[in-house]
Structure 1
Amino acid sequence: MSDNGLAYKALALQVTCYAINQSRDRLEARSRIQQAIERLGQQIAASLAFIGPDCRLVVLPEYFLTGFPLGESLSDWAEKACLEMTGSEYEALGNIAQKHRIFLAGNAYEVDPHFPGLYFQTCFILDPSGTVILRYRRLNSLFAPTPHDVWDRYLEQYGLDGVFPVARTEIGNLAAVASDEILFPEVARCLAMRGAEVLLHPTSEIYGQARSPKEAAKISRAVENMMYVISANTAGIAESPIPSGSVDGGSKVVDYRGLVLAETGAGESMAAFAEVDLAALRRYRRQPGLGNLLARQRFDAYVESYQQAVFYPRNTMIEGEIERKHFIQTQVATIHRLAEQGVI
């Protein structure tokens, strides 16, 4: 891929999520998911008509198809809300990507035949052919299974590059993190180590304070990794017990210098779009000096500290049926152990 003048527009599309928690059965839930995809197809088409044909990337929010579980057991939520890796929902989303010749990214709950009884919260990217070219399973979650909970088996199946995937595409090296994982710098850093240039961030979060932790983290991840951050928030979650506007607004595009190029307020909006200039980013990354934070990294100095530290344990969900209370119980036990060690 040539560096000469490579630029395109990226859109963080802020749309309302319609929760399926009140669906009576799988059939009704799947019908509502299909309705959400059809609605998105119309919104994407209209947004692209306004922005123009140089919009090559559309990022959708977290939960955009289903909302999140509210007390459902792991098995119930898997049955009701989780997509299959080769399911019809990905096919329908792929048709949208193919029709408009775009890269389409989002986040969904997903089951994996290699891990029966579990599901993962998955960031995905579809290319203009409609093919899923990247799956990143959220590593840090308080309420859902993660690859770390079945770490050894997951590495056997997908390897470390499958834990931290980067898709090398004609619009740059794409990677993704979910929601509050923007607060975990190691995730974005491991993606940057593998060449990520554009970090896609499907999220569903409180918005309204410029100095909130997540807002600060989006800027920080962009600056410290010298990468673009495309963050798409929900425009509220409808048909849920929580007030719908609790997670609404602030979708944005941040460049590799930490400058917010575009941002939207509350409500459904396509206003958060901006140019991604890969040629400029690559020149910036290859220029020596104080600002080249990637080239100044001394990762080997930190290896031993990370190897010695055991905080949240791995492989806690490898046997038997897991109840939802497992997550908070494991965190409580971790806090007690770290307190006894004098770490916290």
Structure 2
Amino acid sequence: MRSERASQAESDVAAAVLIQRNVATLARLIEEACASKQKPDLVVFPEFAMQGPPLHMDVASWIARACSSIPGPLTALLQELAKRQGIYIAGNMFEAPSEWPGRYFNSSFLIDRNGEIILNYRRVNTAAFPSVHDFMSDYLAQTHQADVFPVVDTELGKLALIPCGEISVPEVARVMMMQGAEVILHPTNSKFTAAQEAAKLARVAENMIYLVSANVAGPIGFSPDNSIAGGRSHIIDHHGNTLAYQDDDGESVGVTAMIDVEALRRDRRTDTGLSNPLLRARYEMYVPYYTEAKFYPPDAFLDAPMVSTSQTRAAIATARANMERAKILTPLPPGASEPVAPTAH
């Protein structure tokens, strides 16, 4: 679907109208999919579909303008729709939960056939938004381990959600697979890069897992001038075979396929040497290295929430220094300055 950006609205009131228009568009497309000859059991919609990204907005302003709870006012229509149509709906929105005042998250959620929210994953790895890692000690103390990288068991299979560029972080999908995940639902809002397209296939191959990737139609959220297109929604099976794909950025409900979870379960049990990466994985060998991997500092915003994403520069500087000590990064020559990259998420 195409979505409008609340951050570019003239006022909070105008943003609220825009968000409701996005939600209505989303509902219309889901109804269209349900009216097709092959009614889906599960629909996945793109990242930023409801609100767009915050772009230049500081944390407090974005919370006031666009964020909501999960469940909450922005999910209510979708919950009613899922119950009425008897389907699952998966997607993404910016969440500002009451239990964590002053903080918002890029959250991905799943609604079941009864209209209930049964999964909510708050993204960990992000560049442009706050993260639960920013106050990890408090978050882990109050969040059950199974809810940090959640997986839910349904009659469709064991489902998990990973948003957008976080598909490039192998550990996220791996931890979800270790909790039984069989299908990764991937709401994304991304331009074409060979690296991210490869990452999708890599996560599938590493974990013998299905991937359902739904990208935005029209321009991506991080293209304020609308010059960078989305597209490339993709469904991939657990062997890396494409089941459905749309390269262009046109609005469509046509990227659809049957997911054979029983075949996945059979193939995961079959010893095919290293072509089955699960049966022969030796995870214990890696534990000491992960234990010593202390780079980006946790709890960077433990005492007070982030006010602006520009505050992450200090944490990035710490990560660089830690990686220099670990000889991952080569120190800059005296007098040289750090390279500047465009904003990413």
TM-score, scaled to structure 1: 0.90
Q: CA deviation at 1:309?
A: 1.0
- Alignment of 1:264 with 2:246, yes or no, is yes
Counterpart contact for 1:148–1:314, Cα < 8 Å: yes
- Alignment of 1:342 with 2:327, yes or no, is yes
* Distance of aligned partners of 1:310 and 1:239 in 2 relative to their CA distance in 1, 3 Å threshold: closer
- 1:220-239 alignment runs, 5 A limit: 220-237=202-219
- Which of the two has greater strand per residue? 1
Structure 2 unaligned blocks of 5 or more: 330-345
Q: CA deviation at 1:238?
A: 7.8
* Distance of aligned partners of 1:85 and 1:74 in 2 relative to their CA distance in 1, 3 Å threshold: same
Match of 1:273 in 2: 256
Match of 2:22 in 1: 36
* Distance of aligned partners of 1:223 and 1:133 in 2 relative to their CA distance in 1, 3 Å threshold: same
Q: Which moved more, 1:305-314 or 1:83-92?
A: 83-92
Q: CA deviation at 1:161?
A: 1.2
Match of 1:156 in 2: 141
- 1:145-294 alignment runs, 5 A limit: 145-207=130-192, 212-237=194-219, 242-266=224-248, 267-290=250-273, 291-294=275-278
Match of 1:315 among 277, 299, 313: 299
> Per-residue CA shift, 1:275-302, capped at 9, x if unaligned?
1011111111111221221111111111
Q: Structure 2 counterpart of 1:292, which letter?
A: N
* Distance of aligned partners of 1:38 and 1:165 in 2 relative to their CA distance in 1, 3 Å threshold: same
Match of 1:3 in 2: none
* Count of paired positions: 326
Counterpart contact for 1:124–1:132, Cα < 8 Å: yes
Q: CA deviation at 1:200?
A: 0.5
Structure 1 unaligned blocks of 5 or more: 1-14
3-state SS in 1 of match to 2:6: coil
Give % identity.
Answer: 34
CA distance in 1, matches of 2:175, 2:243: 25
Match of 1:70 among 55, 76, 94: 55
What is the alpha-carbon root mean square deviation over aligned residues? 1.7
Q: Which moved more, 1:265-274 or 1:20-29?
A: 20-29
Q: CA deviation at 1:28?
A: 2.7
TM-score, scaled to structure 2: 0.90
* Distance of aligned partners of 1:48 and 1:173 in 2 relative to their CA distance in 1, 3 Å threshold: same
Counterpart contact for 1:110–1:121, Cα < 8 Å: yes
- 1:11-22 alignment runs, 5 A limit: 15-22=1-8
Q: Which moved more, 1:189-198 or 1:311-320?
A: 311-320
Q: CA deviation at 1:49?
A: 2.0
- 1:320-335 alignment runs, 5 A limit: 320-324=304-308, 325-335=310-320
Q: CA deviation at 1:305?
A: 0.6
